[in-house]
Chain A
């Protein structure tokens, strides 16, 4: 009779903590945890000591206090009597505004440049290469400052727009001056709420119609004229209701008053410079992503589609694009994330973003640099974790299902 003696479990020796692979990983982790905890508590202890030495505490009470400073670009109501928390919110919204505008323009520029770089037009392809390499290899900060200087020093002064001056407004409604760009601004009169609701309803209708058309095509094979109906739904109801309601929305045009423009929408130089520089810079990166995505689809895919009798447009929309997008979208979103984080370079042109309000003036006025920087960092961190979380879900949904 053979007996199996389980030696290992009974005779545990301390040296097994190091030499037995079953226990070694545990040992390493415990040692690492102790070291990390020691390091963390050393840092925290220093913070407590330093705060005590300066007679400060760690609290976020300052957020409720009166801010006492003005912000030159606000998307929500704000004045110097508002609280620091509201100032921070204004800054955060400004960050999000420039990030959104930048993402839109960068995508447009990037897609155009990426496609044109693959074009068989020699001249245009070379020019796009110069654009991409030029913007990718020079610091963004330099572009921001350069575009700001171009706006501030290259553009005509408002007084040149007066009678006899050598500058004139584009289409009598847009003025590009060295103090920024003045655009016509929509004025929402009574009844404009109804108009907006109609517009939202037509968007919903477009979505529903496309869904219905898709289902019908799956079931019967009939193809409905989706594009035409969508365009009609997009424009017609809004235009009809605009006239029924008697033109509730009007435009306020910028006018020259004294030495400056009044009325209309004023985009400051800081916003323009930051927006254009971020878009041009990120657009160069997006162009490379788009180019790589298109090149990644093997020629056999489009040839197979042609062999099946698909026309070029359908080949593009049904075969090439869905596969290219799988390659393009993840790095594209990380470029959006980079753009959002790079918008903190607003500091170079004095754009009032979250860094300038929460991480700048508020800190200077209250002396709460620890709390202020903590909140600022938290804002950016939450934003990027949110976006990358969405990206992970998307990646999982489009992942190739193999075996």
Chain B
């Protein structure tokens, strides 16, 4: 049979052909373009529209930036330099970036004394170093102690004065910890908790001043004091934003727990607080802080506008965070709570070991979005007279030599915020990936 077969078939290939190169339309750039840009008539239309929009945007922006003048003393000088370079015939679009090179220090630091710029920069370095152990798992755990000390160090670097003040306040936290340890050794968990709340409060109310003076006398290290009204520019936004972020997270978690709690009064108070703060725009709260706060304080008392803003921003962000965390708590399966109960954990232990790690993990995107929102909202302080970057840009534009300049300042400020907010959102995506425990 096989013989006949061999005779009837004229030719049998006994080797494989080498694979052919795909046709020109199905490979390389052309294939990619066909698949991603011109796959259907609708996509062709979209691509053409997109290219048109892109062209019109770039045609406006690129020459403007390309022809920019980087060194000049005023807008009119910028124009003169531009005309000298490109001729006066038709108007060439050209950015006057000289305003940035001339005034970058005000946009970044406000009216902070020029010779002390090293201090905010040092505070920023301390801040970044302190972030390390919190944000990245690869940094040694022991550095958390540095993170705990960093806020006091940063405060001292920024505002200056005697080192006694921040140290004395920090001692309050040490006192709280001491009271907790002693209380739990000699009495019970409850007494320890009460002690850890009452002892530092009493200390801060009564003893901080004398202790600060004492430490100042013993360790006479002092930096030149800089009042809050000299703070400005991006530094101000950054300080308010970071302080708000650090302070609002614990408060927001507490509020979320309060809202989930079945203790009637605490539940209702948390709901009222959250709804009132979320329902009213931040700008109304800021105006309240600047116009009305004196009504709510004992007659004659007055305190720093910047501190008021930080408190208000913190409360505002905490209300939003509370809702985000509540979403995380609600998303946890009921079995997790029941398992914690079955193990005999008390409320706080269950929260700390079982509930919160999972709930916070679920709510990371929302938490970071709230932080980004808070950071962007710090620009609103311009309306109550603080000189944030937008306030500084208004001040610069009010100067006769820079009158009429807009876009250069807007682009610079926008870039500063974009870098900070974009890196926050990227970090949150990284964190989500790192904490993912499922297998998909």
Contact = CB atoms under 8 A, between A and B. Distances in A.
Interface of A: 18-19, 25, 28-29, 32-33, 36, 43, 46-47, 49-51, 53, 116, 119-124, 127, 133-134, 136-142, 145-146, 149, 153, 341-342, 344-345, 347-348, 355, 359, 363, 369-370, 373, 376-377, 380-381, 383-385
B50 A133 contact: no
A342 B287 CA distance: 14
A122 B36 contact: yes
A377 B288 contact: yes
Contacts of B278: 384
Interface stretch (B134-142, B153-161, B418-426): B418-426
Contacts of A116: 46
18 contacts: A29-B263, A29-B265, A29-B266, A120-B35, A121-B36, A121-B47, A124-B50, A137-B418, A137-B421, A145-B410, A146-B406, A146-B414, A341-B280, A341-B281, A355-B287, A373-B287, A377-B288, A384-B278
Contacts of B54: 123, 127
Given A121-B43, A373-B292, A344 B284 contact: yes
Given A142-B413, A153-B406, A380-B279, A46 B266 contact: no
Interface in B279-301: 279-284, 287-288, 291-292, 294-299
A62 to B, nearest CB: 16
A7 to B, nearest CB: 22
B317 to A, nearest CB: 14
A134 B414 CA distance: 9
Contacts of B298: 46, 49
Contact of A369 (B53, B280, B292, B410): B292
B297 A25 contact: no
Interface in B226-273: 263-266, 269
B77 interface: no
Given A19-B190, A121-B37, A137-B422, 18 more contacts: A18-B190, A29-B266, A32-B265, A46-B296, A53-B299, A119-B43, A120-B35, A121-B50, A122-B36, A136-B421, A138-B376, A139-B377, A140-B376, A142-B413, A153-B404, A345-B380, A381-B276, A385-B279
Contacts of A124: 46-47, 49-50
A152 B382 CA distance: 21
B295 A149 contact: no
Contact of A32 (B47, B269, B292, B407): B269
Nearest to A152: B406
Interface string B37-63: 101000100110111011000000000
Contacts of A348: 383
Contact of A50 (B295, B414, B422): B295
A250 B205 CA distance: 73
Interface in B1-54: 35-37, 39, 43, 46-47, 49-51, 53-54
Contacts of A373: 284, 287-288, 291-292
Contacts of A122: 36-37
A284 B285 CA distance: 26
Contact of B50 (A18, A28, A127, A347): A127
A299 to B, nearest CB: 14
A348 to B, nearest CB: 8
A53 B291 CA distance: 16
Nearest to B424: A137
B275 interface: yes
B244 to A, nearest CB: 14
A342 B417 contact: no
B314 interface: no
Interface string B413-437: 1100110011001000000000000
A120 B299 CA distance: 65
Interface of B: 35-37, 39, 43, 46-47, 49-51, 53-54, 190, 263-266, 269, 275-276, 278-284, 287-288, 291-292, 294-299, 372, 376-377, 379-380, 382-383, 390, 404, 406-407, 410, 413-414, 417-418, 421-422, 425
A46 B265 CA distance: 24
A355 B283 contact: yes
A36 B269 contact: yes
Contacts of A43: 296
* Of B43, B279, B404, B421, most A-chain CB atoms within 10 Å: B279
Contacts of B50: 121, 123-124, 127
Contacts of B283: 344-345, 347, 355
A385 B275 contact: yes
Contacts of A145: 390, 410
Nearest 6 A-B pairs (CB), nearest first?
A: A122-B36, A137-B421, A381-B279, A341-B281, A384-B279, A139-B376
Nearest to A56: B295
A142 B417 contact: yes
Nearest to B38: A121
B46 A119 contact: yes
Contacts of A384: 278-280
Contacts of A383: 279
Contact of B265 (A33, A137, A359, A381): A33
A123 B284 contact: no
A77 to B, nearest CB: 27
Contacts of B406: 146, 149, 153
A142 B281 contact: no
Contacts of A381: 275-276, 279-280
A293 to B, nearest CB: 15
A49 B390 CA distance: 37
Contacts of B53: 127
A41 to B, nearest CB: 12
A283 to B, nearest CB: 16
Contacts of B269: 32, 36
A46 B35 CA distance: 70
A380 B279 CA distance: 6
Given A142-B414, A344-B284, A28 B263 contact: yes
A175 to B, nearest CB: 22
A142 B414 CA distance: 7
Nearest to B36: A122
A178 to B, nearest CB: 13
Contact of B266 (A28, A121, A123): A28
A234 B315 CA distance: 50
B292 A370 contact: yes
A187 B359 CA distance: 58
Nearest to B49: A124
Contacts of B295: 46-47, 50-51, 370
Given A28-B263, A137-B425, A369 B291 contact: yes
A47 to B, nearest CB: 5
A51 B295 CA distance: 7
Contact of B280 (A28, A47, A127, A377): A377
B410 A149 contact: yes
A145 B380 CA distance: 12
B265 A344 contact: no
B295 to A, nearest CB: 5
A380 B297 contact: no
Nearest to B393: A145
A47 B410 contact: no
Given A149-B406, A355-B283, A141 B380 contact: yes
